[in-house]
Amino acid sequence: MAQVRIDGTVHRLPSSAVTASRHARKVLADVVERIGPLRNRAIFIGARAPHAQTAAERQMLLAECREIEGTIQLARTELIVRLMDVPRAVAGHSRVLDIEKSLDSLERGLAETRAALGGD
């Protein structure tokens, strides 16, 4: 039986898809909780971008984009750290890939918003 250490607690993992899924959800929970609010903020900024009339307003929206991008990078780092010590079945689980795709999608959306605002 494989073992995984999550938040300092050692858990035994029988090799089953159900168990891998359960542990993937547990490992990803903190990151998943942050994605929804980040996506909502990014959507709001993207909706405001075409209506930004002043340079100050555009700079404020660009700063918010950079803040969200920083949070995304922290989430990616946390994801990597959490997956370092888990069994391959958990680290390669489709839920992990879905989270990575979601973070990629957020970054692409923010890049488009920055471009619309004339940012870097």
- Ordered by start, the domain boundaries in the chain are 2-116
Would you state the structure tokens that stand for residue 112, as one six-digit string?
Answer: 């488009």
Would you state the structure tokens that stand for residue 54, as one six-digit string?
Answer: 């002043």
CA distance 32 to 65: 19
Q: Would you call 82 exposed, middle or buried from its count of C-beta atoms within 10 A (0-12, 13-18, 19+)?
A: buried
Which residues, listed in sequence order, are joined to residue 4 by a DSSP beta bridge?
A: 11
What mean pLDDT do residues 60-86 have?
89
pTM of this structure: 0.74
| Domain 2-116 = CATH 1.20.58 | yes
Instruction: Tell me what pLDDT residue 95 has.
Output: 77
Instruction: Tell me what pLDDT residue 113 has.
Output: 95
* Helix (H) / strand (E) containing 1: none
